[in-house]
Structure 1
Amino acid sequence: MSYKHILIAVDLTDECHPVVERALGIVARNEATVSLVHIVEPMAMAFGGDVPMDLSLLQQQQFDQARERLQSFAGRYPQLGEEQRCLAYGQPRQELHRLAEEQGCDLIVVGSHGRHGLALLLGSTANDVLHGAPCDVLAVRLKKPKD
């Protein structure tokens, strides 16, 4: 199968560089278009729902920091120009599905920690993205960071 547009989803940690490298290999073999995305989750979601204070300033700071980190992260890959980088705000699964549909992507590439036990029951971003995705999904196994 030949892919035309590949969406790479990253969390901007060093351990997700293999995700980008694997995706860029597929991009090169298919002469595909590529987009790199990082999703900033709403702080209320991270804290489990209702937070009785205004988090808008903190959320904007988080978004600004994510923009800087995305530029730095993507700077390692000359084939990822400014126009191919995207910063989105929301729930990762929903945003990745939305972006894939809007951009006409036929492959989403994400990292997976391959969790087991309780972490598996709670779910993961890779698992969430897989269900209901508008296109193929490739989950690249990530190595556990060394302690």
Structure 2
Amino acid sequence: MPKIILVGVDGSDSSRKAASVAAELAADSGATLHVLTAVDPHRPAVTEDPAMLGDVRRLTPGEEAEAIAAEIAGTLKGVTPRIESSPIQGKPADALVEEAKRLGADLIVVGNRRVQGLGRILGSVATDVAHHAPCDVYIVKTF
């Protein structure tokens, strides 16, 4: 039985579906679920901050990633009680693999979004994670 499950999210419907499946797996196994969003430090973000009541302010990439992970984790609290969320630094696949190593994860859950080129069967992030993960990988069919 897994004790630590990671799921990568980016706010898309695809990643929300993967997170939902990961939450069900965590609930069934009693594992802690870590909802993670990769931070691209080179991409400036402009996002509407709800606390600003409609005003637009610049969020750093880290703030934006943290907000996405926290929002999705919040929607899953009714599914599994042990859930954490955080941003992680780097490209999505690399960051998930590194975080899995750091936490000693038992399972990484990813969706199969971004289907193009040679990675079109699984998606580029799913393919990269599957090739380099230090643990089992569950690829959710999200399309």
Give TM-score scaled by structure 1 length. 0.72
CA spacing shift, 1:14–1:113, aligned 2, 3 Å? closer
Partner of 2:69: 70
Give the alignment of 1:1-147 within 5 angstroms.
2-43=1-42, 61-78=60-77, 79=80, 84-113=84-113, 115=115, 117=117, 120=120, 124-143=124-143
The root-mean-square deviation of aligned C-alpha atoms, in Å, is 2.6
Report the Cα distance in structure 1 between the residues aligned to 2:8 and 2:81, rounded to whole angstroms: 13
1:119 is displaced (CA, Å) by 5.8
Which has more radius of gyration? 1
Aligned residues: 126
Q: How many percent of aligned residue pairs carry the same amino acid?
A: 32
The offset of 1:72, in angstroms, is 2.4
Amino acid aligned to 1:135: C
Which structure 2 residue ranges, 5 or more long, are not aligned?
A: 44-57
On the 8 A contact 1:110/1:140 being kept in 2, the answer is yes
Deviations 1:50-107 (A, max 9, x none): xxxxxxxxx97232222223322322122477x7111012122221111111111010
Q: Which amino acid aligns with 2:100?
A: A
Structure 1 CA distance for aligned equivalents of residues 116 and 93 of structure 2: 20
4+ aligned runs moved over 4 Å, structure 1: 116-119
- Alignment-mate amino acid for residue 16 of structure 1: S
Return closer, same or farther for 1:60/1:17 CA change in 2, 3 Å cut-off: closer
Inter-CA distance 118–94: structure 2 relative to 1 (3 Å threshold): closer
Give 5+ residue unaligned stretches, structure 1.
Answer: 45-58
- Which residue type is aligned with residue 19 of structure 2? V
Name the TM-score, length of structure 2 as normaliser: 0.74
**Higher relative strand content:** 2
Residues in 2 aligned to 1:28 and 1:62: alpha-carbon distance in whole angstroms: 30
